[in-house]
Every structure is written in structure tokens, then in C-alpha cells.
């Protein structure tokens, strides 16, 4: 799968999970949040380690710097939510903020960054980046609970 298709499929997967958590009982919210947090942790890692560095080489640094700041904000909300139980009075509000931040980030990537990348990269290059990203995704998922690394990533944005 090419890099952009992989990232878009992750965007859709997380969107579906946000829809589920909004309708879930308090007892199920914690488990759904953990699934969302794991998916977002993997997504951010493979973007920061593979996609963004490759794209930066193609002169889209302004978009990337903003994306990294958005990742930082998302990670901070995830870290806050990891401290809460699904029945906490602020849990739903924080999930809503997380969803809004993710939706904003997804919209900017899909309407601004991805079209530029498609013009700058050929299909073979996007496939190669996608393979690297998929390999790291598999490693992170195999280790289990990728969200556990998020609190240690909230001091400053990742570098590329």
C-alpha cells in the first residue's frame, strides 16, 4: 500500500472509532479510548519517522512544522486521557477535544499536504515509503499498547 493510502485508511479507522466512543456506555469508553490512542500513537510514529522526513526533503516544511505541532497537541490530550477513567466527568469533554484536533489535522493533511506529495512523488516512491511505514506499524502493534509511549512525547514536537 502506498504511504498516502495507508495514512488515509488509518484516518478512516480512527474516525469510525470516534463514532463508536460517542455512543458507548461509560464502561466501554475506556477500552475504546485505548484503541483510539494506540491507533493514533502508531499513526504519529510512522508519520514522524518515515513520511514527514521524506516529504520534508521535497520542500513542504511549512506544512510539516504545523503538523508536528498538531501531533504534539493530540499527544498531550491522549496523555491526559490516559490518566482518566471513562466515567470521569471530564472524560467525554477531553475525547471531544481530541476528536476535533484529529479531524482538523486529517483535513489539512488530506486537502493540502497529500495533494502536494502526490505531485512530488511517483508511485514507486510512495510505495517504498508505505512499505517502511507498514513495517514499523507492524512492529509497534506487535509490542502492544503503543499508547504507552505517548506521555514521554509531550514535552516538545518531534523533529524531522
Range from 24-28, 44-48, 65-69 carrying the lowest mean pLDDT? 24-28
Helical spans, DSSP H, in the chain: 3-23, 26-46, 52-56, 61-82, 91-108, 114-120, 123-143
Domain ranges (residues) in the chain: 3-150
Measured CA to CA in angstroms, residue 148 lies from 52, 132, 137, 156 at distances of 22, 22, 15, 17
The DSSP letter of residue 32 is H
- pTM beyond 0.75: yes
Angle between the N-to-C axes of helices 3-23 and 91-108, in degrees from 0 to 180, rounded to the nearest 10: 160
Decide if domain 3-150 falls under CATH 1.20.120.520. yes
Query: How does residue 58 score in pLDDT terms, banded at 50, 70 and 90?
Result: low
- In this predicted structure, the answer to whether residue 149 has a pLDDT above a threshold of 90 is yes
Are 133 and 53 in contact, with CB atoms under 8 Å apart?
Answer: no
* Per-residue pLDDT tens digits for 68-99: 999 999 999 999 999 998 999 999 999 999 99
Amino acid at each position: 500500500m502506498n504511504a498516502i493510502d495507508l495514512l488515509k485508511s488509518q484516518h478512516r479507522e480512527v474516525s469510525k472509532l470516534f463514532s463508536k466512543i460517542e455512543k458507548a456506555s461509560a464502561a466501554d469508553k475506556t477500552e475504546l479510548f485505548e484503541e483510539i490512542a494506540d491507533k493514533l500513537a502508531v499513526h504519529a510514529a510512522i508519520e514522524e519517522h518515515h513520511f514527514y522526513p521524506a516529504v520534508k526533503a521535497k520542500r513542504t516544511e511549512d506544512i510539516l512544522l504545523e503538523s508536528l505541532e498538531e501531533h504534539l497537541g493530540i499527544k498531550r490530550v491522549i496523555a491526559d486521557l490516559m490518566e482518566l477513567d471513562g466515567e470521569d466527568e471530564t472524560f467525554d469533554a477531553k475525547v471531544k477535544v481530541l476528536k476535533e484536533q484529529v479531524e482538523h489535522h486529517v483535513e489539512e493533511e488530506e486537502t493540502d499536504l497529500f495533494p502536494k506529495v502526490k505531485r512530488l512523488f511517483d508511485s514507486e516512491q510512495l510505495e517504498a515509503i508505505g512499505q517502511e511505514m507498514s513495517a514499523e506499524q507492524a512492529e509497534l502493534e506487535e509490542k502492544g499498547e503503543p499508547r504507552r509511549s505517548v506521555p514521554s512525547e509531550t514535552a516538545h514536537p518531534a523533529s524531522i
